[in-house]
């Protein structure tokens, strides 16, 4: 009759420590099936990992009798971990390769460097750009003024406005107004002449009637 071995398995939350009684000739890899059969509430055995608490590293075919045991208790202590599923790795090698590519790239940007006086080159470049901008301000303003003038001349030409600020339509309107004023003046003069002639004629009639009172006056004609 084969001897049995006592296996104490320390698990993870929410499970407590498990105790197994299995034959000492059981291979280490068969413990997963024993756990799944005796404790069905555990996750899938393929998602679990058994390890000895000591430095002993068994293989899948190592028998429990080959495990180092305490002479008195004859117990085997194991730990049960959930497997951490991940990729094949290689992240470190990828970082090293990227670092090599970055170091191999030459750069001509030295703005963060300093000159002999301690000033950064970027500050010196910005100061030079500002000085050039200030120096070119008169030319820039002149160019803007010329552009506005050309735009205004093109608009005046499109609207038919002359240099003195009057359009052809306004000139025509002004000529028409002069003719109207001349015609109005002539009409007023004619009216004045007609009124003066009528008043003179009336005065002559009144004078004649005063000189000859016996002569009957003509009755006014109703018109």
Structure confidence by residue, pLDDT tens digits, 98-139: 877 777 666 677 888 888 888 888 899 999 999 998 888 888
Structure confidence by residue, pLDDT tens digits, 64-97: 888 876 555 568 888 888 877 666 667 778 888 8
pLDDT at position 71, please?
Answer: 56
Is 163 exposed, middle or buried (CB count within 10 Å of its CB: 0-12, 13-18, 19+)?
exposed
d(CA 58, CA 79): 13
The model's confidence at residue 163, banded by pLDDT at 50, 70 and 90, is low
pLDDT at position 69, please?
Answer: 66
DSSP 40: T
For residue 176, which phi and psi values (nearest 5 degrees)?
A: -60, -40
Q: What is the pTM of this model?
A: 0.35
d(CA 128, CA 135): 11
pLDDT above 80: residue 214: no
Domain boundaries, the chain: 4-82, 121-158, 166-202
Q: How many CA within 13 A on the CB side of residue 83?
A: 11
Alpha carbon distances (Å) from 58 to 29, 44, 54, 77, 205: 9, 21, 11, 13, 159
Query: CB of 42 within 8 A of CB of 48?
Result: yes
**Average pLDDT over the chain, rounded to whole?**
77
pLDDT above 60: residue 59: yes
pLDDT above 70: residue 146: yes
pLDDT at position 18, please?
Answer: 84
Nearest to 53 by CA among 90, 79, 33: 79
pLDDT above 50: residue 1: no
Instruction: Determine what percent of the chain falls in helix, strand and coil, rounding each to the nearest 5.
Output: 50, 15, 35
Task: List the beta bridge partners of residue 129.
Answer: none
Q: Copy the structure tokens of residue 69.
A: 């045991």
Pick the CATH number of 4-82 from 3.10.20.90, 3.30.365.10, 2.40.40.20, 2.40.160.20: 3.10.20.90
pLDDT at position 189, please?
Answer: 83
* Helix or strand (DSSP H, E) at 1: none
pLDDT at position 223, please?
Answer: 40
pLDDT at position 86, please?
Answer: 67
């Amino acid at each position: 009759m084969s001897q049995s071995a006592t296996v104490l398995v320390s698990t993870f939350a929410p499970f407590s420590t498990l105790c197994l009684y299995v034959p000492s000739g059981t291979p280490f890899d068969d413990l997963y099936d024993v756990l799944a059969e005796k404790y069905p509430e555990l996750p899938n055995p393929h998602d679990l990992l058994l390890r000895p608490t000591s430095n002993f590293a068994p293989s899948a075919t190592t028998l429990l009798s080959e495990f180092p045991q305490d002479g008195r208790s004859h117990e085997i202590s194991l730990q049960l971990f959930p497997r951490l599923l991940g990729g094949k790795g290689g992240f470190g090698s990828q970082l090293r390769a990227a670092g090599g590519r970055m170091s191999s790239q030459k750069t001509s940007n030295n703005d963060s460097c300093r000159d002999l006086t301690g000033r950064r080159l970027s500050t010196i470049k910005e100061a030079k750009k500002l000085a050039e901008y200030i120096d070119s301000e008169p030319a820039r303003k002149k160019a803007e003024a010329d552009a506005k003038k050309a735009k205004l001349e093109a608009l005046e030409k499109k609207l038919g406005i002359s240099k003195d600020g009057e359009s052809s339509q306004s000139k025509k309107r002004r000529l028409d107004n002069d003719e109207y004023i001349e015609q109005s003046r002539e009409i007023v003069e004619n009216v004045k002449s007609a009124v003066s002639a009528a008043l003179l004629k009336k005065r002559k009639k009144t004078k004649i009637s005063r000189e000859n009172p016996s002569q009957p006056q003509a009755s006014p004609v109703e018109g």
